[in-house]
Amino acid sequence: MLNGISLMPEIVIGAQFHHERPDGNGYPQGLKGNEIPRVAQIIAIADTFDAMYSNRPYRQRMNFDKAVEIIKDASGTQLTKDVVDAFLRLAKKGVLRAPDDTGGGSLDDISNIHKKQEE
């Protein structure tokens, strides 16, 4: 779907490999560490944060601090450490928090969210 993008061809690479993990347990190719293209490492964190911190038809967005905590905990295994560090600096500055965030949001862990979807 993204192959026709000529302005930023690296986006295609990022979309293709953003489910790879630094520990090698990702997909589609099981890439590890620096084998993962940098753009994919960045998109992985953006996608992870968006998945947790966006309202979905089936659940309320996650509490901001909880989402940040989960990303921090995934540093070095699921997400690239130095990219997580950059994300955490932005989170600390407050630039990632939604303007309409009044401090609510789900405090459920990811496993609890998946369990609710299966019910």
Dump pLDDT digits (tens) for 69-109.
Answer: 999 999 999 999 999 999 999 999 999 999 999 888 887 76
Which tokens sit at 10?
A: 């690296």
Which tokens sit at 65?
A: 């601090």
pLDDT at 116: 45
DSSP lists the bridge partners of residue 75 as 79
Instruction: Read off the pTM.
Output: 0.83
Dump pLDDT digits (tens) for 13-28.
Answer: 898 899 999 999 999 9
What one-letter code names the amino acid at 62?
Answer: M
In sequence order, the 6+-apart residues with CB closer than 8 A to the CB of 14 are 37, 39, 40, 42, 43
Q: Domains in the chain, start-ordered, CATH in brackets?
A: 10-96 (1.10.3210.10)
